[in-house]
Amino acid sequence: MRRRVGPRHLLWLAGLGPAAGQAQPAKPTALATRRYAIEVAGIRVGTMTATRQPQPGTPDVTFTLTSDVKVNFLVYHLKVYYQVVNQVHNGQLLLSTVVAHTNQGDFSSRTEWKGDHYDIVADQYKYQHRATEPHPITYTVTNLFFGEPTSQPRAFAEYFGDYFALSPAAAGTHRAQRDGREDEYQYTNGQLVTIIKKNSIKNFVIRWLP
């Protein structure tokens, strides 16, 4: 029997992983955009776009990560639109909002700095999480799209409101692991070119579109 690739697995695309308390590179001064194709079993099912937008004259940067997936397998249809928006001040995350619009319903996550801690609320498909985090978050999933995480031991994933452990696997390759999940990030000359989101049914492959 053929197993379906369902919303639980496609929404797993949102769980890309990243970390806190590390030294930051020089602040960017111009808009940067990275575009990717999302594939399942060699079939392109959507796109993912990451942007980094410095705010002129301020130490603020806005990051966005947007995924748009449409799957049509015989009589099985699925649509997922997912977006992360991160507001960063002096390298520290102040507010992260995540929205997911799907044909299974609408879902959201929110991580907000309250002056001495973060309030974290995640209400996603078959996943709920409530937590507080006292330590400043200085590296999130969207940062992985703009440079290799050469000194990051863990990663904050906005979708889950929780951390991934990061570890080098080979030259230019890093693993992100959390609660039985594993993603692989592959870099060439410091640029993210491929993400493999490992799945017991079918791996998701996210490839850079030059």
Q: How far apart are CA 12 and CA 105, in angstroms?
A: 15
Cα separation values, 103 from 22, 85, 125, Å = 39, 22, 11
β 92-102/105-113 pair status: antiparallel
| pLDDT score of 156 more than 90 | yes
Look-up: residue for tokens 């006292």? 134
Question: Residues 85-120: pLDDT tens digits?
Answer: 999 999 999 999 999 999 889 999 999 999 999 999
Give the model's pLDDT for residue 27: 58
Name the DSSP class of 9: H
What pLDDT is stored for residue 25 in this prediction? 46
Encode pLDDT of 165-210 as tens digits: 999 998 999 999 998 889 999 999 999 999 999 887 788 899 999 8
Using the CB atoms, write b or e for 73-96: b if 16+ within 10 Å.
eeeeebbbebbbbbbbeebebbeb
Structure pTM? 0.84
